[in-house]
Amino acid sequence: MNMNPTAVQNAILRLLYTHHSLTTPQLWQALYPDRPKKYTERELTKMSARCWIKADTTSRPYVWILLRGGADVLGVQHGSHFYRRSPDTEIAYRGAILALERQLIAAGWEFLAPQRYGPAHRKPPTTRQAGMLMEALEARETLLIQQIAGDPIHPDRAHLAARRDRLASGALRQLVPPSANDYVIYHPTNPAVVAVIIPHPPKAGRAFWLQKPASGASTTTHPARPGRVPLYSRLVEFIPICAAIPNPAEFSTPLKDAIKTAGFSTWELGKISTYLAKIGSTAAISRLRL
């Protein structure tokens, strides 16, 4: 019997590796919503028989987790945490994340998703998301320089040489946090049109958004990571950054106000397509604030 996974089975394994625990409907909607749900259910049954995945049959709908056999098929490390079913709130959040990705694809955007880093997958000095944001800033500045150079009466004409020097020096790249690991969305036909989307995780509080960076004098072995607001404080002037909220009723007004005051947009996660239409229509180079 052929024990190599099909393309469908490989996609299911990767989703469970990334999201830990997912329900049958979530897997179905993420992969093959245009086919009957029984199609996905049959694949899950086959994979369970091969001890690649396992269902929590006490839940309705079933919740699936990745087993060591499935991790071996993927060639990834399998930790003990995979055997623990995620809480219902976390599973619902993962479903919302998958819905976000479907909205992005349907609206014609492409994206770099957050990555899971650990001993087997070390975080690089500069993440892919950070690299893309750096390239977008430089692409925007290049286009603006071309506009200014071609317009003898452009109001920023006197600063043309300074802009060229800034671009050549790589100074724009310093605006981007090299550790950025949130959703970076972009238009494949225009490298200058990008945005950052940060879903609000379950049980995340003020620290997730507002935690100040550790001071240089800190002696803590593992200093607290900065919240998203200070992390992107220099970039938010130039790149749209959105706090995507799964359940607005659970998001306090003072926290929302603090995030908006910092220059972030706040949108309901399930209605992110409205936000995409807005930034897609207002990302004209002439309106950029570089």
Number of domains in the chain: 2
**b/e per residue 30-42 (b: at least 16 CB within 10 A):** bbeeeeeeeebee
Are 190 and 245 contained in the same domain? yes
Residue where a domain stops, chosen among 55, 86, 117: 86
70 and 177 share one domain:
no
Q: Flag whether pLDDT at 286 surpasses 50.
A: no
Residue 107 lies in a domain: no
**Residues 76, 140 within the same domain:** no
Say if residues 49 and 89 touch (Cβ distance below 8 Å): no
Residues 68 and 147 grouped into a single domain: no
Q: Is the pLDDT of residue 216 over 80?
A: no
Q: Is 147 inside a domain boundary?
A: yes
Give per-residue burial for 204-218: e unless 16+ CB within 10 Å, then b: eeeebbbbeeeeeee
Please tell me whether residues 157 and 26 are part of one structural domain.
Answer: no
Whether residues 132 and 271 share a domain: the answer is yes
CA 67 to chain centre: 25
Please give the residue range of the domain that contains residue 32. Answer: 7-86
Both 207 and 276 in one domain: the answer is yes
* Same domain assignment for residues 220 and 137: yes
Q: Are residues 81 and 135 in the same domain?
A: no
Q: 209 and 147: one domain?
A: yes
pLDDT tens, 141-191? 999 999 999 999 999 899 999 999 999 999 999 999 999 999 999 988 887
- Are 135 and 269 within one domain? yes
Specify whether 66 is located in the same domain as 175. no
- Residue-wise pLDDT for 12-25, tens only, equals 999 999 888 999 99
| pLDDT for res 209 | 95
Q: Give the pLDDT mean for 265-280.
A: 84
Please name the residues in contact with 3: beta carbons below 8 A apart, sequence gap of 6 or more. Answer: 50
- Asked whether residue 33 is assigned to any structural domain, the reply reads yes
Residue that is last in its domain, among 28, 63, 86:
86
Q: Which residue has the higher pLDDT, 181 or 86?
A: 181
Residue 15's domain is classified under what CATH number? 1.10.10.10
- Between strands 190-199 and 53-56, the pairing is unpaired
Q: What is the mean pLDDT of residues 109-116?
A: 92
